[in-house]
Every structure is written in structure tokens, then in C-alpha cells.
Amino acid sequence: MLPVMCVLLSIVFYKTVKYSKKTNHMVHQVLLDPTGTEATFVYKNYWQRKMRADRQDEVLMLQHLANPP
């Protein structure tokens, strides 16, 4: 039973790392527009996002951001 558990644990670990790489949203920079209405979030894993054809940055209007509870 131990070899089966080791194999299953390694599969679960692999899938967890793969999922976290795909959904990683660590912010590297926050750039504020000169007018003060928009904020641009530049993500840290720029190269990986470029290889997956994901957006490397995201622009949000400041009025859409909510205060934390």
C-alpha cells in the first residue's frame, strides 16, 4: 500500500503545483494613472504569462476597487 500512496501523493503534488502556476497573480508593480482614475497592475511572472498568451498587466478603474472588510 505504501508505493501506491507515494505515487498518489506525487500526482497530487504535481497537479497542485501546476494549478498554482496557472492561477498565480502575484503583483510586481502598481502604476497609478496621472489623472488618478486608473491603476495598472503588472504581474510578477511576466515571462510565464507571455508564453501562455495571458495578459501581463491589468488596468482597473479605482472606483471599482473595494475597501477590505
Predicted TM-score (pTM) of this structure: 0.52
- Give the whole-angstrom CA distance, residue 41 versus residue 52: 18
pLDDT tens figures, 16-69? 888 877 666 778 888 988 888 888 888 877 777 777 777 778 888 887 777 767
pLDDT of residue 10: 95
pLDDT confidence bin for 7, thresholds 50/70/90: very high
Domain boundaries, the chain: 25-69
